[in-house]
Amino acid sequence: MTDFRQQALDYHQYPTPGKISVELTTPAETSKDLALAYSPGVAEPVREIAQDPDNAYKYTAKGNMVAVITNGTAILGLGNLGPLASKPVMEGKALLFKRFAGLDSIDIEVSHRTTQDFINTVANIADTFGGINLEDIKAPECFEIEQALIERCNVPVFHDDQHGTAIVTAAGMLNALEIQGKKLAESRIVCLGAGAAAIACMELLIKCGAQREHIYMLDSKGVIHTRRDDLNEYKQLFANNTDKRTLKDVIEGADIFVGVSGPDLLSPEELKLMAPNPVIFACSNPDPEIKPEVAMAARDDLIMGTGRSDYPNQVNNVLCFPFMFRGALDVRATAINDEMKVAAVEAIRQLAKEPVPDSVLKAADVKELNFGRNYIIPKPIDPRLCQRVARAVAEAAVKSGAAKIDLPENYMQD
């Protein structure tokens, strides 16, 4: 672990501090180049944009630029360490945008006194970018922040900790249930955790067919039920009229367990109480709610997913967010709506059913991958994800009215 720590520090320090930089896309060698790039030539696109703001997409990098914005109040599993400490994570997000979707991205860390200060700051700079990716903002403030920015901004705003997690979870879950011979609408669901990711996951599963009354959500105080008087408005949406109070109470007979909470919180004894052929998504990082080897020792009829890359069925946001923004920006979407999220779910889950290219097998260091218990969701390194998800999202944006332009000709075609 000490060796890995030093490797991580060296990775971020050498050969140049950080993970991203700015590169030029046009010549800047001659006096004429500079006259075109800046004064006096730059005045011409300025005039064009002043006449029609949409010309910013024609003459600037806006249409290929995403801002990754945070206040550092919920950094990975490390908690509230402040905006500056979050910068390596936000640079990492920018790296992923570029690596997987060819999107330029810049990180912005905001210091503020009130939630409204943060909202105002982001809203006031939003038009600079084609889209806003919110990241590592704690609940429940993240809900208020995202909703306010969606209402105020003319570009798509997407809190990845909520919706990216939800999209990938839903895609894997629908495939796992299909393999297990179960239907989402008939499944009893236990969700351990009640923060941003948990609430977004459950809301999207409901949009995909789950029944709200079949969901039992737990926070640090136990089952969220109607007789509790300490619930915020977001938790209240999942308050059950039930006498059950503990994880052990609600896990009995459950078909699905989704963990977005903390390590080792689901015991083998509790797992054994679940219905036949259960689906377990233990997504706490770096240590899941129950380790796969422990779960498999307890029963052999389950399908297991985690947030880790060293186990099968990794529930990883990188399967989603770069391509959500790629598709949204390419049709100049003004928002990322439910139709676009569900389209991403379907595109991701269907890709897992197709033959896997040799290049992906080699990169994953495996001999074969076939749709089944140990392969319910594509690998993040699958190059087909960009094409499939971006096109599905763009098509949904156009069809739902969120797009400002039609799909480009032959967009993301084979």
269 is in an annotated binding site: no
Which residues have a Cβ under 8 Å from the Cβ of 179 and sit 6 or more positions away?
A: 303, 371, 372, 373, 376
Q: Is 382 annotated as a binding residue?
A: no
CA dist., res. 404 & res. 154, Å (int): 11
Annotated ligand binding at 240? The verdict is no
Selecting among 59, 62, 93, 272, the annotated active-site residue is: 93
Residue 272 designated active-site = no
How far apart CA 74 and CA 88 sit, in angstroms, is 14
Phi/psi of residue 94, nearest 5 degrees: -60, -40
Q: Helix, strand, or coil here: 193?
A: coil
Q: Which residues is 65 bridged to in the sheet?
A: 104
Q: Are 272 and 254 in contact (CB under 8 A)?
A: no
Closest CA to 397 of 135, 60, 156, 152: 156
Pairwise CA distance, residues 393 & 399, whole Å: 10
Catalogue the E-assigned strands of 300-360: 303-306
Rounded distance between C-alpha atoms, residue 336 and residue 406, angstroms? 16
Q: Is 316 annotated as a binding residue?
A: yes
Q: Let me know if 38 is a catalytic residue.
A: yes
CA atoms within 13 A on the CB side of 71: 20
Closest C-alpha among 412, 354, 389, 402 to residue 157? 402
Phi then psi dihedrals of residue 225, to 5 deg: -130, 170
Buried b (16+ CB within 10 A) or exposed e, 67-102: bbbbbbbbbeeeeeeebeebbbbbbbbbbbbbebbe
* Dist CA 385 CA 377 (whole Å): 11
DSSP letter assigned to residue 357: P
Residue 313, marked binder = no
Which one of 14, 32, 38, 341 is the catalytic residue?
Answer: 38
Give the closest residue to 187 by CA, choosing from 122, 280, 297: 280
For residues 173 and 167, give the distance between their C-alpha atoms in angstroms, rounded to a whole number. 10
For the record, the structure tokens of 164 come out as 């990216």
What residues are designated binding site for a divalent metal cation?
Answer: 135-136, 161
Which residues are marked as active site?
38, 93
What residues are designated binding site for (S)-malate?
Answer: 285, 316
What residues are designated binding site?
Answer: 135-136, 161, 285, 316
